[in-house]
Amino acid sequence: MIIKAENISYTYSEGGPFEKAALYNVSLTINRGDFVGIIGHTGSGKSTLVQHFNGLLKPESGRLTVDGIDTSEKKADLKKVRTKVGLVFQYPEHQLFEETVRKDIAFAPVNMGLSPDEIHDRVIWASRLVGLPEEILDKSPFEISGGQKRRAAIAGVLAMKPEVLVLDEPTAGLDPRGRDEILRQIKKLHDETGITVVLVSHGMEDIANTVNYLYVMNNGRIVMHGEPMKVFSRYEELEEMGLTAPQVTKLMKKLCGLDVCTVHQAKEYILGVLRRA
């Protein structure tokens, strides 16, 4: 396993007038090569949790280890942890700052102290992975489209060649086409390179098709986990938490009491039934 959280809790501005407990006794494990989803409605603590994964936040109690490194330890090498676990923030395009997209993607490799050749290779590699055309690399990050900005920002994290890629709501604010493209590329990245991916989302449809394990958060706690199909089959509970299972899951449950979480599976099943009839 690469990330392991044991009973971690976290409170924002402890002792102040706006003290806010955000995580209570959260435990989870993420294994190498996994494609893990974390879902929960806004304010359930997803972003707080994933910021623990690369040591930006340290648990108040409990323990979090990344590839055996305890992030709370005084002499823990956090720089190393941050290159192992690449974290793409919500609305990552807000962090772009360089004159050209190329320089912006190169920011992390430069910070890692790599050679110019290596940096160049990584920029090309990362921008190809997220589907950014080469001619865009020399434009200003402020003159390209919203979807391209988002890709450039994701490439900026990928350029560290992390072992785990954590994406905090990567599709927020994108149109359906941009959303599908980003998700497809992430899936492709996972399949081709075998990188471990953690995908945070509040939309079910995003996650149903892609992840192989799912954690559900509510009010700072992990309330359910398991394979997507198992989790979605409890959609009444999900709805009580303000989440919805994919439409097709509900439909298939009503039609034939079957647990299904993607349109593709539903199609296969219905076709099967029709053929037999």
Partner 1 sequence: MLKDITLGQYFPGNSFIHRLDAMIKLILSAVYLVIIFLIKNFYGYGLLAAFTLFTIIISTVPLKFVLKGIKPLLWFIIFTAILNLFMTGGTVIWQFGFLKLTKEGISFAVFMMLRIVFLVLGTSLLTYTTSPIALTDGIERLLTPFGKMGLPTHELAMMMSIALRFIPTLLEETDKIMKAQMARGADFQSGNLIKRAKALIPLLVPLFISAFRRADELAIAMECRCYRGGKNRTRLNESKIGYPDIIACVFVLLFALAIISVNKAG
The site for partner 1 (CB under 8 A) is made up of 13, 15-17, 51, 54, 56, 79, 82-83, 86-87, 89, 92, 94-97, 107-108, 111-112, 142, 156-157, 160
Binding window for ligand ADP (CB under 6 A); candidates: 37-45, 55-63, 67-75, 262-270? 37-45
How many whole angstroms separate alpha carbon 258 and alpha carbon 196? 30
Angle at 29 between CA 26 and CA 32, to 5 degrees: 155
In which order are the strands placed within the sheet that holds 3-12?
20-30, 3-12, 61-66, 69-70
Q: What angle do CA 125, 129, 134 make, to 5 degrees?
A: 65
Inter-axis angle of helices 247-256 and 263-276, to 10 degrees?
Answer: 30
What's the length of the chain? 277
Our CB check for ligand ADP shows the closer of 159 and 222 to be: 222
Nearer to partner 1, 95 or 219 (CB): 95
Binding mask 119-148 for Mg ion (x = CB under 5 A): ------------------------------
Identity of the residue, 45 or 62, whose beta carbon is nearer to ligand ADP in the bound complex: 45
Please name the residues in contact with 53: beta carbons below 8 A apart, sequence gap of 6 or more: 3, 64, 66, 85, 87, 164, 166, 198
Q: Whole-angstrom Cα distance, residue 102 to residue 104? A: 5
Query: Does 204 help bind ligand ADP (rule: CB under 6 A)?
Result: no
Asked if 44 interacts with ligand ADP (CB under 6 A), we say yes
Residue 250 burial by Cβ neighbours in a 10 Å radius (0-12, 13-18, 19+): middle
**Residue 142 found at the interface with ligand ADP (CB under 6 A):** no
| Integer angstrom CA distances of residue 201 from 160, 205, 253 | 23, 9, 23
Beta carbon of residue 166, minimum distance to ligand ADP (angstroms, whole number): 12
> Is 96 a binder of ligand ADP (CB under 6 A)?
no
Q: Least distance in Å: CB of 112 to partner 1?
A: 6
What's the min distance (Å) between Cβ of 257 and partner 1? 45
CB of 95 to partner 1, least distance (A): 4
Q: Is 218 in the site for Mg ion (CB under 5 A)?
A: no
Find the shortest distance in angstroms from Cβ 142 to ligand ADP: 26
Comparing CB distances to Mg ion, the nearer of 47 and 65 is: 47
Tell whether residue 44 is a contact of Mg ion (CB under 5 A): no
Q: Which of 8, 31, 49, 65 is nearest to 216 (CA)?
A: 49
Cα–Cα nearest to 245, from 261, 257, 256, 258: 261
Q: For binding to ligand ADP (CB under 6 A), which residues are involved?
A: 12-13, 20, 22, 40, 42-48
